[in-house]
Structures are given as C-alpha cells and as structure tokens.
Chain A
Amino acid sequence: MLFLGTFSPTEPDAGQIIQKTTERYSRNALYSELSIEVIRPGWVNQLGVRAWARGDTYALIVITSPSRDRGNTFLKRGDNLWHWIPNIDKTVKMSAAMLGLPWMGTDLSINDLFNNHFDPSEYTLQLLPDEVIRDTECYVIELTPKDDVPIVWNHIRVWVSRVNYAQMQAGFYDENGDMVQLMETADYKEVGELIVPLEIHITPLTIPGNKTILRLTHYDFDVQLEENFFSLQNMKRQW
C-alpha cells in the first residue's frame, strides 16, 4: 500500500497540469501598466506601456514613455492589428503577422504580452521527469504543436511549479532540438484565484546579450471592458 501511495492516483497527467496552470492564468478582462526593459549589448532602454485586454481577442496598448514614443497606440481585434501614430496623425493597418513578431524593439510580440498560456487542444503533450527550478520542484511538460497549428516552434517545454501551478519557465525549441528562446517568470502574486507573475524575462538565446524584462507595475483584474471599448476611435483618445 505504501508503495502504491508514492505513485498516488491523484498525480495529474500532462493535460491536467496544463489545464490547471491555464486556469490559474486566464482571466476575462485586464488593465495593466507595464515597464518593459530592453537589454541589448550596447544599451538598455525602458518602455512604459498601459494595456487593456479582454480574453485573447481584444487588446489596446498605449505607449506612455519615453516621450518620443508617447501616444503610439496599438489595437488588436482578433487577427487584425492597427497602429495609431500620433505625430503624423495616421492610423496604419498592420499585417496579422506583426502580432507574432518582435514588437517595438523588444523580444516580445503583442501576442506574447497577453497569452502567456498554452491552449492544450493545439499541442500533443508529454510529461517528462520532474526538475528543480530555482528551488521549486516542477513538472516538466513538453508540448509539440499539432500539424495544422501555425506555431513556429518545433516544441515547447514548460516548467510548472508543483506548489502553486505557476509557470516557472518555458523553453522554445527549434527543429534541431536547441532551445532558442527562454521565458522565465518571477515575483508571483496571488490575486484571488489567479497566480500572477509580476516579472517576466524573455531571453532569445540565438542573439547573445539580448534580453527583455517585463514588469507589471499596476494591474486591475476587476475592470469591466466591453467589446466596443476596443475601437479605432478609442485608439486616438489622449490616454
């Protein structure tokens, strides 16, 4: 019986773990203020951002600093992306591909800003032996994208804390099996049912010396945002 106890039937499988971590992350609407630090071999630069999001579908992002970029606004509605450029008073419709590409000189894409969780239906999951990350025992799950899903990575490995189901880190691998990007989270905050990492580090491993650190300086998970909040008119408001 003791023997059976160590292989407890309550031990979750990969799908359940991902499901659980997703539950702990996803929220309906979110208002946040972010400070993004871009680190490059020769320089370090700060970017201040205010963002409103509703699910994965809607997002409005306003740049607040530095002053030369202040007021630049990005609107995401599904796969559509617009950019309002205040100093030439123009709204530019951008291609959907931009949602997944590095944004404003950071190592993050707009999608990365809001969906740092994985949809289990898009991947084949495999549970690997546990590992210890920063003194925390973690489940290790390998996610391999299904054939028809447009995801650039060959596979992704996610380290999920056994303690609070927070995603401690995620590694993104290319077809040679080399990790090309590493995402680490830190400074967890419990907000009701949610576990929120206040700091996210993105390190592209192919370019030495590059790193982006995202800090959540202010947040509100109780904000009520209607669909029509995410409109082209609202983009041009002086936030």
Chain B
Amino acid sequence: MSNFGDTKIPKTKLHWENPDLTEFECDDAMLLLKLAWRNTWRNRRRSLLTALSVVITLVFIVFLESLNKGVFDYLIENEINIYSAHLEVFHADYVQQRNVQQALRNADSITAYAFGIPAVADVRKRLEMLVLVSGGESSQPAVLWGIEPDKEPMLSGVAFDTTSPVSENSISIGRDMAGFLGVQAGDSVVLIGQSYYGRIAAMHVHVQKLFDIPIRDISQHFIIAPLRLVEEFADLEGGATSLHITLDDKNHASNVSKHLSEIYDEEGLEINSWIETLSGRLSTYELRMAAVNVLKIILFVVMAFGILSTIILTNNERRQEFGMLMGIGMKRRFLLAVFMMEMLVISIMGVLVAFAVVFPIIAVIYHNPIPLQGEMVTIFSHFNVDPVIVVSRDPYSFLKNAGIGLMLAMMLSLLTSVMIIRLKVAEAINH
C-alpha cells in the first residue's frame, strides 16, 4: 500500500477538487514538485538505478567526445602553428605555378596592413623557391624554405641550433639530403636558382644543422633557411611567396580573409583559411566523430533500456497505488504530471551527478595532459611538439548530451503515461 497520505496537503489548494481550474498555479507546481521529490525517495534503489544509467552514459559520452575533440584540436592547433597558420595569403598566380616570380612583392605592406586588423595575432612571412643544391660530388633539386626564425620558434627549434643566434648565411638540411650530398653539419654547399627577376641566383651557404623531421619528402628535399638569406638569394627584399596569419580566434578567419581580399582586390591575392588548407585532416576528424557518434547511440540505447526497465517495474508495482489515488478523486492529469515530474527529477539528478563526476576528471586531465608512450614520443618531439594526450573543455558538448539524455527519459516516461491514461480504477485497486 502506498504511503501517499503522509504528505500534508492544504485542503483548499487541492487541485483535483476544483474542476474549473484548467491550469496549474504556481503553488500547484510547487506541490507537484514536492510530491515528485518525495515519491522519488520512496523507492530509493529504483530511483538511484535509473539515475545511475543516466550518469554512466553521460560520463562515458562526454569523456569520449572531449578526448576526441581535445586530441584533434591539439593536432590541428600544432599544424596551424608549425605549418599553415589560420590564413595563408598568396598571389593567385603563385598558387598555380609555385614559382618565385609570382611572389608577393609588397608582402611588407600587406603584413603591416594585416597587423592593423583587430583579430590578427601575428603575420609570418615565408619565401619558398626551387633551387639546385650542390655539395661534395652531387647535386639535387630542393625546396628552399625561408622562415622568420624569431616568429616561428617551433620550426626554427627543429631546424636550427638556437643556442647561438642563427647567422644569415646558415641553412638547415634534412638528414636524407645530407646523406645524398655527402655533407655534414658545418660544411658548405652551393645553391643555384633563379631570382625574382628571372636571373641566375647562386650562393655559398653554410649548413648549420641537419634536421630530423621523420617525413622522407621533407628530409630529402627541404632546405630551411632564415628569410633574410632567401630574400637576398631571390633578390626580393620585403617580398614573400606566402603570408601566414594567425588569429586570436580561428573562427574569425573568414571575416579577416574577406577584409584583406577587398582591400587588395587588384593585387589578385588568394587567401586560404585553415579550413581549406586542412580540409583533408578535417574530413578525417569528421569520420572519427562519426564513429564516436555511433558509439554514442549505442550508449544512449543502453541508457534507454535502463530507464525503460525501471518504468516497466514502476508500472507493475504502482498500478494499485495509481488506482487508489484515482479512486479517492485524484485527477488523471495531475497523476500524470506527478509521474512525469518524478522522471524529470531522477534524470536531472543523474545529469547533475554526471556533471559532478566528469568535470573534475576533465579538468584534471586538461591541466595535466596524459603523456604518450613509445614511438609516438620521438615522432612528436621531432616536430617540437609535447607528446601528450589532451582533452577539450567544451561545455557545449556536455549540455548537448545532457539534453539528449533528458529528452530520451521524458519520451520513455510517456510510455507510462499511456498506461495511466488507460488505467481502469476498479481493476487497478484489486490488482
């Protein structure tokens, strides 16, 4: 038998005694909540089990999403820092032909202008050209890659021995190229190419360091040099083949891009945002997120079954109670509202507990990234990147999943509503 009677209900406020009222007043809503709250704790174990299925599901899903997003954001952020930046600016012809003669001659003025745009954090110039490198007995074609060492600490950390200042005559070549040419760090090599004006460019340079980037193409064909050296080699002071703009917030990329292309309309600039540059990576990310979503659906289904079993149990156990309540005059509608409220209270409790569990975990990992083990450590360190797993601290992910969980719980409780609506009082009392 139910102990519903122990709730003290002021006589005048009883809703079911006043059939003229179609909407609950504020007091009625409080009453409803009070009833639901008490009912929740009448059968603690059942309520806790229901809440637990919500907790476990949410904790898993949120953790999974935040881990995936975190690792991916970290990789993207590193790639943006090391290679592409948020916006890349080229001369449109350069994109087609990749020839230094299509470099941006007025790179300095574009840089100065870009710095005036509020969202722009930094502008890095790069000057890239094809050369013939010759050392010892061999020669080979190579990409001469001029960077601003002080603005690209990660890359210049890989390329140069930064304990001493990088001299303007120093380059860094990959171990594979050094092997082919038969040169060591400290040796001299000859670069031959074509200047911006289409004339011969030739220079003796000093190999300061052999870099260790474990990508064969780069190790075999790339020469990293200070921008000044490449400017002199190409006879193009203040020029660049590309500008790399980093932003305070990467979501401003399209605005800044639009702004720049309007101002430099006649120069024929081509501006690529990180979304275009990293489109390959981003589709990998979407594929992985799709896999996470499948897992998410499975977890939600498990949760749904947890809640469903509670509801079926409730239906059986409380049929008599419901019948009795209706027998003494409780409105079906009010009963329904109490029951829905009970489910809501339980689900919200689950969400709150999940929140309390998952956020400290994420916060701890966020501030203390998990170190990677094994071979990954060497690969990461070649790129001057910390070999760690990081998590994302995006509250939106939690809210979204909590919302889905609550909706699911509410939809399932509608099943019980059907039962309440169909309940025959006499039958239920004698159940």
Contacts and interface: CB of A to CB of B under 8 A. Distances in A.
Interface in B182-226: 190, 192, 194-195, 197-200, 202-204
A51 interface: no
Contacts of A83: 200
Given A87-B202, A88-B202, A45 B197 contact: yes
B169 to A, nearest CB: 13
A105 B204 contact: no
Nearest to A90: B190
A106 B199 CA distance: 9
B98 to A, nearest CB: 18
A68 interface: yes
Contacts of B148: none
Interface string A90-111: 1010000000001011100000
A85 interface: yes
A201 to B, nearest CB: 18
Contact of A102 (B192, B198, B203, B235): B198
B332 interface: no
Contacts of A43: 105, 197
Contact of A105 (B105, B199, B203): B199
A72 B204 contact: no
A69 B190 CA distance: 16
B192 A68 contact: no
Interface in A98-143: 102, 104-106
Contacts of A69: 199-200
**Interface majority SS (helix, strand, loop, mixed), chain A:** mixed
A208 B204 CA distance: 36
Contacts of B204: 87-88
Contact of A72 (B105, B198, B200): B200
B199 A104 contact: yes
A87 B197 contact: no
A164 B148 CA distance: 60
A47 to B, nearest CB: 8
A83 B201 CA distance: 12
B350 to A, nearest CB: 66
A128 to B, nearest CB: 35
A85 B235 contact: no
A88 B203 contact: yes
Contacts of A106: 198
A38 interface: yes
Interface of B: 105, 190, 192, 194-195, 197-200, 202-204, 235
Given A69-B199, A87-B202, A102-B198, 17 more contacts: A47-B199, A69-B200, A72-B199, A72-B200, A83-B200, A85-B200, A85-B202, A87-B204, A88-B190, A88-B202, A90-B190, A90-B202, A104-B198, A104-B200, A105-B194, A105-B195, A105-B198
Ranked 7 nearest A-B pairs via Cβ: A105-B198, A105-B197, A88-B202, A85-B202, A88-B190, A104-B199, A105-B199
